[in-house]
Protein backbone atom coordinates (compact mmCIF):
# COMPACT_ATOMS: atom_id res chain seq x y z
CA UNK A 1 0.00 0.00 0.00
CA UNK A 2 2.83 2.36 0.88
CA UNK A 3 4.50 1.60 -2.42
CA UNK A 4 1.34 2.42 -4.32
CA UNK A 5 0.78 5.67 -2.45
CA UNK A 6 4.41 6.70 -2.91
CA UNK A 7 4.31 6.03 -6.65
CA UNK A 8 1.01 7.81 -7.14
CA UNK A 9 2.16 10.75 -5.08
CA UNK A 10 5.35 11.14 -7.12
CA UNK A 11 3.44 10.87 -10.40
CA UNK A 12 0.72 13.25 -9.29
CA UNK A 13 3.22 15.84 -8.12
CA UNK A 14 5.17 15.68 -11.39
CA UNK A 15 2.01 15.79 -13.51
CA UNK A 16 0.70 18.68 -11.42
CA UNK A 17 3.85 20.66 -12.06
CA UNK A 18 3.52 20.14 -15.82
CA UNK A 19 -0.19 20.95 -15.77
CA UNK A 20 0.38 24.11 -13.76
CA UNK A 21 3.08 25.23 -16.17
CA UNK A 22 0.70 24.75 -19.12
CA UNK A 23 -2.08 26.63 -17.29
CA UNK A 24 0.23 29.47 -16.42
CA UNK A 25 1.39 29.75 -20.04
CA UNK A 26 -2.23 30.13 -21.16
CA UNK A 27 -3.01 32.74 -18.52
CA UNK A 28 0.02 34.80 -19.44
CA UNK A 29 -0.77 34.75 -23.17
CA UNK A 30 2.34 32.77 -24.14
CA UNK A 31 2.78 32.73 -27.96
CA UNK A 32 1.75 29.45 -29.64
CA UNK A 33 0.22 28.33 -26.35
CA UNK A 34 -1.94 25.77 -28.15
CA UNK A 35 1.18 23.89 -29.21
CA UNK A 36 2.45 23.87 -25.62
CA UNK A 37 -0.85 22.56 -24.29
CA UNK A 38 -0.96 19.82 -26.92
CA UNK A 39 2.60 18.83 -26.06
CA UNK A 40 2.09 18.52 -22.31
CA UNK A 41 -1.47 17.18 -22.34
CA UNK A 42 -0.44 13.49 -22.49
CA UNK A 43 1.87 14.01 -19.52
CA UNK A 44 -0.60 16.06 -17.50
CA UNK A 45 -3.26 13.38 -17.82
CA UNK A 46 -1.11 10.50 -16.54
CA UNK A 47 -2.39 11.01 -13.04
CA UNK A 48 -6.07 10.99 -14.02
CA UNK A 49 -7.73 8.36 -11.87
CA UNK A 50 -10.60 8.10 -14.33
CA UNK A 51 -8.41 6.95 -17.21
CA UNK A 52 -8.84 3.54 -18.74
CA UNK A 53 -6.56 1.26 -16.75
CA UNK A 54 -6.46 -1.26 -19.58
CA UNK A 55 -4.81 1.20 -21.95
CA UNK A 56 -1.15 2.06 -22.24
CA UNK A 57 1.50 0.45 -20.02
CA UNK A 58 0.63 -2.67 -18.10
CA UNK A 59 -0.25 -2.11 -14.44
CA UNK A 60 2.23 -3.29 -11.84
CA UNK A 61 0.68 -5.62 -9.19
CA UNK A 62 0.41 -3.93 -5.80
CA UNK A 63 0.76 -5.37 -2.31
CA UNK A 64 -3.01 -5.27 -1.83
CA UNK A 65 -3.77 -7.32 -4.94
CA UNK A 66 -4.56 -4.28 -7.04
CA UNK A 67 -2.40 -2.59 -9.64
CA UNK A 68 -0.82 0.78 -10.27
CA UNK A 69 0.84 2.61 -13.13
CA UNK A 70 4.64 2.37 -12.84
CA UNK A 71 6.37 5.71 -12.36
CA UNK A 72 9.27 6.36 -14.78
CA UNK A 73 12.61 6.11 -13.02
CA UNK A 74 13.48 9.84 -13.17
CA UNK A 75 10.13 10.79 -11.63
CA UNK A 76 10.54 8.19 -8.90
CA UNK A 77 13.64 10.00 -7.66
CA UNK A 78 12.91 11.87 -4.45
CA UNK A 79 15.00 14.78 -5.67
CA UNK A 80 12.64 15.27 -8.61
CA UNK A 81 9.65 15.15 -6.31
CA UNK A 82 11.25 17.71 -4.02
CA UNK A 83 12.01 19.97 -6.99
CA UNK A 84 8.46 20.12 -8.36
CA UNK A 85 6.66 19.92 -5.04
CA UNK A 86 6.64 23.73 -4.51
CA UNK A 87 4.84 24.19 -7.82
CA UNK A 88 2.25 21.54 -7.04
CA UNK A 89 1.76 22.99 -3.58
CA UNK A 90 0.83 26.35 -5.08
CA UNK A 91 -2.46 24.94 -6.36
CA UNK A 92 -3.62 23.54 -3.03
CA UNK A 93 -6.44 25.38 -1.31
CA UNK A 94 -6.05 26.57 2.24
CA UNK A 95 -8.66 24.10 3.42
CA UNK A 96 -7.11 21.22 1.48
CA UNK A 97 -7.93 18.07 3.53
CA UNK A 98 -4.52 16.67 2.60
CA UNK A 99 -3.07 19.10 5.11
CA UNK A 100 -4.07 16.68 7.84
CA UNK A 101 -1.27 14.15 7.63
CA UNK A 102 -3.13 11.68 9.83
CA UNK A 103 -6.20 11.54 7.59
CA UNK A 104 -5.32 8.86 5.01
CA UNK A 105 -8.71 8.99 3.29
CA UNK A 106 -8.45 12.75 2.90
CA UNK A 107 -4.99 12.42 1.36
CA UNK A 108 -6.21 9.85 -1.17
CA UNK A 109 -9.19 12.08 -2.06
CA UNK A 110 -6.88 15.06 -2.53
CA UNK A 111 -4.74 13.10 -5.01
CA UNK A 112 -7.83 12.27 -7.08
CA UNK A 113 -9.22 15.82 -7.03
CA UNK A 114 -8.35 18.25 -9.86
CA UNK A 115 -5.76 20.86 -8.93
CA UNK A 116 -6.62 24.56 -9.08
CA UNK A 117 -10.16 23.66 -10.10
CA UNK A 118 -11.49 27.21 -9.78
CA UNK A 119 -10.46 29.96 -12.24
CA UNK A 120 -9.52 32.24 -9.37
CA UNK A 121 -7.19 29.56 -8.00
CA UNK A 122 -5.52 29.11 -11.39
CA UNK A 123 -5.14 32.86 -11.81
CA UNK A 124 -3.60 33.17 -8.37
CA UNK A 125 -1.30 30.25 -9.07
CA UNK A 126 -0.01 31.80 -12.29
CA UNK A 127 0.88 34.96 -10.40
CA UNK A 128 3.00 33.18 -7.80
CA UNK A 129 6.71 34.13 -7.77
CA UNK A 130 7.87 30.58 -8.45
CA UNK A 131 5.76 30.29 -11.60
CA UNK A 132 6.66 33.81 -12.72
CA UNK A 133 10.36 33.07 -12.36
CA UNK A 134 10.02 29.78 -14.25
CA UNK A 135 8.17 31.42 -17.15
CA UNK A 136 10.35 34.52 -17.43
CA UNK A 137 12.71 33.11 -20.12
CA UNK A 138 9.75 31.82 -22.14
CA UNK A 139 7.63 34.97 -22.07
CA UNK A 140 10.57 36.97 -23.38
CA UNK A 141 10.47 35.09 -26.69
CA UNK A 142 9.78 37.41 -29.66
CA UNK A 143 6.30 37.52 -31.12
CA UNK A 144 5.61 36.28 -34.61
CA UNK A 145 5.23 38.72 -37.50
CA UNK A 146 1.41 38.53 -37.40
CA UNK A 147 1.35 39.02 -33.62
CA UNK A 148 3.62 42.05 -33.92
CA UNK A 149 1.29 43.48 -36.56
CA UNK A 150 -1.80 42.94 -34.41
CA UNK A 151 -0.07 44.51 -31.42
CA UNK A 152 1.23 47.54 -33.27
CA UNK A 153 -1.66 48.32 -35.60
CA UNK A 154 -5.39 48.68 -35.05
CA UNK A 155 -6.39 46.47 -37.96
CA UNK A 156 -9.63 47.25 -39.81
CA UNK A 157 -12.39 44.72 -39.25
CA UNK A 158 -12.76 44.12 -43.00
CA UNK A 159 -9.05 43.44 -43.58
CA UNK A 160 -8.56 39.99 -45.20
CA UNK A 161 -6.30 37.53 -43.33
CA UNK A 162 -3.74 37.59 -46.15
CA UNK A 163 -3.18 41.32 -45.69
CA UNK A 164 -2.88 41.30 -41.91
CA UNK A 165 0.86 41.80 -42.12
CA UNK A 166 3.13 44.79 -41.67
CA UNK A 167 6.33 45.63 -43.53
CA UNK A 168 8.66 48.62 -43.68
CA UNK A 169 8.50 50.82 -46.78
CA UNK A 170 11.62 50.65 -48.93
CA UNK A 171 12.06 54.40 -49.30
CA UNK A 172 11.36 55.53 -45.72
CA UNK A 173 11.65 52.47 -43.48
CA UNK A 174 8.25 53.39 -42.07
CA UNK A 175 6.16 50.36 -41.02
CA UNK A 176 2.93 50.03 -42.99
CA UNK A 177 0.12 47.52 -42.87
CA UNK A 178 -0.91 45.74 -46.05
CA UNK A 179 -4.50 46.33 -44.96
CA UNK A 180 -4.21 49.65 -46.82
CA UNK A 181 -4.58 47.60 -50.01
CA UNK A 182 -7.84 45.88 -49.05
CA UNK A 183 -10.40 46.04 -51.83
CA UNK A 184 -7.65 46.31 -54.46
CA UNK A 185 -6.35 43.84 -57.01
CA UNK A 186 -2.72 43.12 -56.17
CA UNK A 187 0.23 41.99 -58.26
CA UNK A 188 2.88 40.93 -55.74
CA UNK A 189 6.41 40.54 -57.13
CA UNK A 190 9.80 39.61 -55.64
CA UNK A 191 12.37 41.80 -57.37
CA UNK A 192 16.15 42.05 -57.86
CA UNK A 193 18.41 44.75 -59.31
CA UNK A 194 21.00 42.56 -61.07
CA UNK A 195 18.88 39.90 -62.75
CA UNK A 196 18.21 39.07 -66.36
CA UNK A 197 14.58 39.95 -65.64
CA UNK A 198 15.33 43.30 -63.97
CA UNK A 199 14.06 45.09 -67.10
CA UNK A 200 10.56 43.98 -66.06
CA UNK A 201 10.57 46.92 -63.63
CA UNK A 202 9.60 49.13 -66.58
CA UNK A 203 6.69 46.88 -67.53
CA UNK A 204 5.49 46.61 -63.93
CA UNK A 205 5.49 50.39 -63.57
CA UNK A 206 3.65 50.79 -66.89
CA UNK A 207 1.05 48.24 -65.79
CA UNK A 208 0.62 50.01 -62.45
CA UNK A 209 0.11 53.44 -64.04
CA UNK A 210 -2.30 52.02 -66.61
CA UNK A 211 -4.63 50.32 -64.11
CA UNK A 212 -4.09 51.99 -60.73
CA UNK A 213 -7.10 54.24 -61.32
CA UNK A 214 -9.26 51.14 -61.58
CA UNK A 215 -7.86 49.56 -58.42
CA UNK A 216 -4.63 47.73 -59.32
CA UNK A 217 -1.64 47.92 -56.97
CA UNK A 218 1.75 46.45 -57.90
CA UNK A 219 3.64 45.57 -54.70
CA UNK A 220 7.39 44.90 -54.84
CA UNK A 221 9.55 42.98 -52.38
CA UNK A 222 13.30 43.07 -53.16
CA UNK A 223 15.01 39.79 -52.29
CA UNK A 224 18.53 38.42 -52.43
CA UNK A 225 17.39 34.79 -52.30
CA UNK A 226 18.15 33.88 -55.89
CA UNK A 227 21.65 34.19 -57.30
CA UNK A 228 22.62 36.92 -54.84
CA UNK A 229 21.25 39.41 -57.35
CA UNK A 230 19.99 41.97 -54.82
CA UNK A 231 23.09 42.67 -52.68
CA UNK A 232 22.51 46.39 -52.06
CA UNK A 233 21.07 48.22 -49.09
CA UNK A 234 17.45 49.34 -49.01
CA UNK A 235 18.55 52.89 -49.82
CA UNK A 236 20.59 51.73 -52.80
CA UNK A 237 17.70 49.62 -54.10
CA UNK A 238 15.28 52.53 -53.75
CA UNK A 239 17.57 54.87 -55.66
CA UNK A 240 18.14 52.29 -58.40
CA UNK A 241 14.43 51.64 -58.90
CA UNK A 242 13.51 55.30 -58.91
CA UNK A 243 16.33 56.66 -61.04
CA UNK A 244 16.61 53.79 -63.53
CA UNK A 245 12.98 52.81 -64.03
CA UNK A 246 10.96 55.61 -62.44
CA UNK A 247 9.27 53.15 -60.09
CA UNK A 248 6.37 54.65 -58.17
CA UNK A 249 4.46 51.52 -57.18
CA UNK A 250 4.76 50.54 -53.50
CA UNK A 251 7.91 48.67 -52.54
CA UNK A 252 8.98 47.30 -49.18
CA UNK A 253 12.34 46.63 -47.59
CA UNK A 254 14.50 43.74 -48.74
CA UNK A 255 13.55 40.42 -47.20
CA UNK A 256 13.74 36.70 -47.84
CA UNK A 257 10.71 35.48 -49.76
CA UNK A 258 11.55 31.85 -49.01
CA UNK A 259 11.49 32.10 -45.20
CA UNK A 260 8.22 32.21 -43.28
CA UNK A 261 9.67 34.28 -40.45
CA UNK A 262 11.05 36.91 -42.84
CA UNK A 263 8.12 37.28 -45.21
CA UNK A 264 4.89 35.57 -44.09
CA UNK A 265 3.03 37.14 -47.04
CA UNK A 266 5.01 35.07 -49.54
CA UNK A 267 4.61 32.00 -47.34
CA UNK A 268 0.83 32.44 -47.48
CA UNK A 269 0.87 33.10 -51.23
CA UNK A 270 2.99 30.00 -51.86
CA UNK A 271 0.68 27.86 -49.74
CA UNK A 272 -2.48 29.19 -51.42
CA UNK A 273 -1.27 28.77 -55.00
CA UNK A 274 0.83 25.65 -54.44
CA UNK A 275 3.91 27.23 -56.01
CA UNK A 276 6.78 29.06 -54.29
CA UNK A 277 9.02 31.57 -56.11
CA UNK A 278 11.70 29.77 -58.08
CA UNK A 279 13.56 32.90 -59.14
CA UNK A 280 13.39 36.69 -59.14
CA UNK A 281 10.28 38.43 -60.49
CA UNK A 282 7.83 35.68 -59.66
CA UNK A 283 4.31 37.16 -59.70
CA UNK A 284 1.21 36.50 -57.60
CA UNK A 285 -2.23 37.92 -58.40
CA UNK A 286 -4.61 38.61 -55.50
CA UNK A 287 -8.27 39.56 -56.02
CA UNK A 288 -10.22 42.32 -54.28
CA UNK A 289 -11.25 40.02 -51.42
CA UNK A 290 -7.64 39.21 -50.53
CA UNK A 291 -7.74 35.76 -52.15
CA UNK A 292 -4.63 34.60 -54.08
CA UNK A 293 -5.82 33.71 -57.57
CA UNK A 294 -2.77 32.66 -59.57
CA UNK A 295 1.01 32.66 -59.79
CA UNK A 296 3.12 33.46 -62.85
CA UNK A 297 6.76 32.50 -63.28
CA UNK A 298 9.62 34.89 -63.93
CA UNK A 299 9.41 34.52 -67.69
CA UNK A 300 5.90 35.97 -67.74
CA UNK A 301 6.31 39.62 -68.66
CA UNK A 302 4.05 42.31 -67.16
CA UNK A 303 2.36 42.82 -70.53
CA UNK A 304 1.72 39.12 -71.11
CA UNK A 305 -1.83 38.80 -72.53
CA UNK A 306 -2.81 36.06 -70.09
CA UNK A 307 -1.68 38.08 -67.06
CA UNK A 308 -3.28 41.30 -68.31
CA UNK A 309 -6.55 39.53 -69.14
CA UNK A 310 -6.75 38.08 -65.61
CA UNK A 311 -6.07 41.47 -64.03
CA UNK A 312 -8.77 43.12 -66.15
CA UNK A 313 -11.29 40.43 -65.18
CA UNK A 314 -10.57 40.93 -61.48
CA UNK A 315 -10.72 44.71 -61.79
CA UNK A 316 -14.16 44.39 -63.38
CA UNK A 317 -15.47 42.92 -60.14
CA UNK A 318 -16.74 45.46 -57.66
CA UNK A 319 -14.75 46.02 -54.49
CA UNK A 320 -16.37 44.42 -51.39
CA UNK A 321 -18.35 46.89 -49.32
CA UNK A 322 -16.58 47.98 -46.15
Which one, of 70, 23, 64, lies nearest residue 44 by Cα? 23
Q: Classify residue 111 by burial, with Cβ atoms within 10 Å: 0-12, 13-18, 19+.
A: middle
**Options 92, 159, 195, 241, the catalytic residue:** 195
| Phi, psi for 110 (deg, rounded to 5) | -65, -35
Beta bridge partners of 284: 188, 295
Distance CA 66, CA 188 (A): 67
| Cβ atoms of residues 217 and 208 within 8 Å | yes
179 in active site? no
Its sign, for the CA torsion 32, 168, 277, 250, is positive
Q: Point out the residues that are catalytic.
A: 195
Amino acid sequence: MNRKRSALAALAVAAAGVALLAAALVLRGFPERGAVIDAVAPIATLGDSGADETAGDALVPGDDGGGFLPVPAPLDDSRVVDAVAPLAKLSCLRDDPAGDQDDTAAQDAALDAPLASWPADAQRTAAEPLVTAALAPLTALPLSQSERTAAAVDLPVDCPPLLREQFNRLQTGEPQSLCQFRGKVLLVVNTASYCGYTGQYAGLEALYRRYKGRGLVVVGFPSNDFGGQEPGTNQEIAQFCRLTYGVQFPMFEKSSVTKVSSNPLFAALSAATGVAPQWNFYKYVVDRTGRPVAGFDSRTTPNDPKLVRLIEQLLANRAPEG
